[in-house]
Structure 1
Amino acid sequence: MVSQFSEPQSICILRLSAIGDVCHAVATVQAIQKQWPNTKITWVIGRVEKKLVNGLSGVNFVEFEKYTGLAGFVRFRKQIKHLKFDILLNMQGSFRASLISTQINAVEKWGFNRKNTREGQWLFTNRQIPFLKTPHVAEGFLAFAKAIGVGADYQLNWKMPVSPTARKWCEERLAGAGRYIIISPSASKPERNWLTERYAEMVKYSQEKGFAVVICGGPSPFERELAEEIEKQSGSAIINLVGETDLQQMLALLEKAELLIAPDTGPAHMAVTVQTPVIGLYVHSNPERTGPYLYRHYVVSHYEALLKAQTGKSVAENSWGARVKGIGLMEHITVEAVKSMFDKVIEDTTNQSLSIHQA
């Protein structure tokens, strides 16, 4: 199935959330812009997520606040009803997104292949992208662009907007810190968090290697307490910015960091968009599907072994999105494994820097 438009005049992107998925979607938007610089792009996005990408060049944003219920739906309908598009790319498989898509006036409404989605999205589309057997989420999004005409050999890359204000804040906040790494210790689900004492060990190790340590996170009491406990157990001074950064400031911090250590969480994917290496800590989800896209080779994972133990089947024999279930499983990731990966990342980035200078 191909698009009837050889060069679409207008495209609507529908991807509301979450932060990591919005990061993936940015690369698809920019692939479309590279192919068709004159195509007008509108992105239907969540209010919080818009703050991350608001400076994205050549994109008009329409907010949908998913927590406002019927009132939010009515408000969105008023914003969108006068707009017409050649193509809608619905890159969110939820039933809510499908309902939203009914209010978007588009000739072609593209969705995931029926085998790659759920919640009946195919009932709300008139085009489907090809079936993908083992895609990373970012590749699944790029498949929308390729389905409508972006070159089949296009490779994912990002040019993320970071505001000058955020960069200035970062420079002032970290003045005198020197080279630093970031730890973003808290995931959206507690069972995905690594052990506090092991984060503390990595604080000490990073400092022994000559790096300052910045800890970032949201403003919740849990995240603040976690950062304080990590600092206490490390016995070292850290730069605690938990609850102090907005999304643009977080991007600016990541942009200048040597590396990020994090579980499966939004900042890991934000780091990818500014080309900062990520040591991802994965147990519950498949890192080849949801890991930090450019840095999956730096992931420390026990997903494969635990999936085999729980199901009796390998990754290839399970469904591609199969998850490992249970609490306390992150203890399988050892400090030694993360230290070893830390050394590898620093060695690789040092060698890359030398190669650039020698060239």
Structure 2
Amino acid sequence: MIIKLRGVGDVLLATPVAENLRLCLPDAHIVFLAEEASREVLSGNPYLDEVAVFARAELSRLSPAASMLRQIRFLMELRARRFDCVIDLFGNPRSALMAFSTGARLRTGFDFRVRRSMYNCVVPTDGTRMHEVEFNLRALEHLGVEIVTRDPLFPLSTDSRTEARTWLSGLPRGAPIVGLAPCGGWAAKRWPLRSFAILGDELARRGYAIVLLWGPGELESGRELSQRMREDAWIIPQVGLMSLGAIMECCQLVVANDSGPMHIAAAVGTRVLGIFGPTDHELQGPWGPRHRVVWKKELDCLGCNRTVCDENSCMTELAVDDVLEVALETLREVEGSDCRKVIA
């Protein structure tokens, strides 16, 4: 069993672990334990036999006693599965306890403080800076598993592609599409909506059809961005993650904050321009050499990992012209290649 809790992007960047495990152990029953919000990231993964879900969001709606009983019951259910091997890629106290509770003969996890005591196969962490994809794969390397692929996987279904193309057919015919994803899990990671609006207007005036992307709980941000823009823009309907990925697959470029949609866009093969500030693009940036990132280079507090910041200078002071320049450079590269995408 692979354990990776929390965000969509975190889980997606762990999918190469599943693929490499399957190539090494073709007959194994591979389970991926994630949270409900990330289930759809894994639902179409051909290298998994099962997706298990830890319903963390439900716990907050229970009384403390009921929450504790629910968690104990969940740990007992894990124990009853009699896993041979568990790989904890998340490494927080809760996931470490889950790994320990399985009683698996091989419990693999990273050398994080007291949590290391929950594992009997501890993966050294020597402080080397590496992307999260590489960090996850280090656990497999420690186990002697050959790394054949490093690319995150987000398979798209035929139905999701049909749904995406049906909706996109309402856009101006032949116009290349740019997606804007203005949201993000932390407030501090979000470039201001007023900046996204100016960027969208500048791209729209150059002939691009601007699609506004949003996920659960983010519709109001999409509407506000649309209202702030002076040029036409199209807000996507409420869709699941797979259809969101299929829409982004049709874009020439997706401009996004550090977020799950940014990583999904990269995984489906669309060029990405990631906007970074409190997170480190070298560690959490869009995976692959074709993608670009922008950040306020003059600041010395970048990569602080603060979820809330009173000043948030890394976002508020990042100039639209700087982002636009990189976006146009990337679009010229796409249009000069054989990867140009338009809706006929």
The TM-score, its normalising length taken from structure 2, stands at 0.86
Amino acid at match of 2:53: E
Change (3 A) 1:55 1:73: same
**Partner of 1:84: helix, strand, or coil?**
coil
Aligned equivalent of 1:144 = 139
Shift of 1:295: 5.2
**1:250-261 aligned within 5 A:** 250-261=244-255
Moved more, 345-354 or 70-79: 70-79
Structure 1 counterpart of 2:230: 235
For residues 51-91 of structure 1, the C-alpha deviation after alignment (integer angstroms, 9 at most, x for no partner) is 22112114112211123233542453454333233321101
CA distance in 1, matches of 2:205, 2:336: 20
Tell me the residue number matched to 2:311. 327
Flag the 1:354–1:138 CA change in 2: closer, same or farther, 3 A: closer
* 2:257 paired with 1:263: yes
Equivalent residue in structure 2 for 1:27, among 7, 13, 16: 16
Q: For residue 172 of structure 1, what is the aligned residue in structure 2?
A: 166
What residue number does 2:29 align with?
Answer: 40
Q: How far apart are the structure 2 equivalents of 1:239 and 1:134?
A: 39
Inter-partner Cα distance in structure 2 for 1:354 and 1:124: 47
Aligned residue runs from structure 1 range 134-213, under 5 A: 134-151=129-146, 154-177=148-171, 178=174, 179-213=176-210
Structure 1 CA distance for aligned equivalents of residues 93 and 265 of structure 2: 30
Richer in helix (by share):
1
Q: Which runs of 5+ in 2 are unaligned?
A: 60-66
The two structures, once aligned, show a CA RMSD in angstroms of: 2.4
Shift of 1:219: 4.4
1:28-55 CA-to-partner distances (Å, cap 9, x unmatched) read 2112222332232111111221122112
Aligned counterpart in structure 2 of residue 345 of structure 1, from 312, 322, 330: 330
Q: Distance in 2 between matches of 1:83 and 1:181?
A: 46
Q: Secondary structure at the match of 1:106?
A: coil
User: Separation in 2 of the partners of 1:277 and 1:214?
Assistant: 15
Provide the rounded CA distance (Å) in 2 between the counterparts of 1:272 and 1:266.
10
1:191–1:327 CA contact under 8 A, matched in 2: no
Answering whether residue 47 of structure 2 is matched by residue 55 of structure 1, we say no
Contact 2:271/2:291 (8 A) holds in 1 = no
Equivalent residue letter for 1:81: R
Q: For residues 339 and 44 of structure 2, what CA distance do their matches in structure 1 show? A: 33
Rounded Cα–Cα distance in structure 2 between residues aligned with 1:266 and 1:201: 23
Cα drift, residue 176 of structure 1:
4.1
User: Does the 8 Å CA contact 1:65/1:72 hold for their aligned counterparts?
Assistant: no
Distance 1:47 1:100 in 2: 16
TM-score between both structures, scaled by the size of structure 1: 0.83
Which one is further off, 289-298 or 94-103? 289-298
- Partner in structure 2 of residue 3 of structure 1: none
Distance in 2 (CA, whole Å) between partners of 1:46 and 1:94 is: 14
Decide whether aligned partners of structure 1 residues 42 and 224 sit closer, same or farther in structure 2, where only a CA change above 3 A counts: closer
Structure 1 segments unaligned to the other structure (5+ residues): 1-11, 316-320
Distance change (3 Å), C-alpha of 1:297 and 1:57:
closer
- Larger mean CA deviation between 291-300 and 141-150 belongs to 291-300
| Cα distance in 2 between the residues matched to 1:197 and 1:350 | 27
Matched-pair contact (CA < 8 Å) for 1:64–1:72: no
Partner of 1:81: 79
Going from structure 1 to structure 2, the CA distance change for 1:195 and 1:238 (only over 3 Å counts) comes to same
Question: Could you tell me which amino acid in structure 2 is paired with residue 258 of structure 1?
Answer: Q
Counterpart Cα distance in 2 of 1:295 and 1:213: 25
**What's the offset of the Cα at 1:23?**
0.5
Structure 1 runs, 4 residues or longer, greater than 4 Å off? none
Offset, 1:283: 1.3
The number of residue pairs the alignment matches comes to: 324
Equivalent residues of 2:44, 2:155 under 8 A apart: yes
SS in 2 for 1:81: helix
Q: Relative to structure 1, is the Cα distance of residues 121 and 305 closer, same or farther in structure 2, using a 3 angstrom cutoff?
A: farther
Distance in 2 (alpha carbons) for counterparts of 1:348 and 1:182:
17
Q: Which of the numbers 101, 112, 135 marks the counterpart of 1:103?
A: 101
Equivalent AA in structure 1 for residue 137 of structure 2: L
Residue of structure 2 in register with 1:276 after alignment: 270
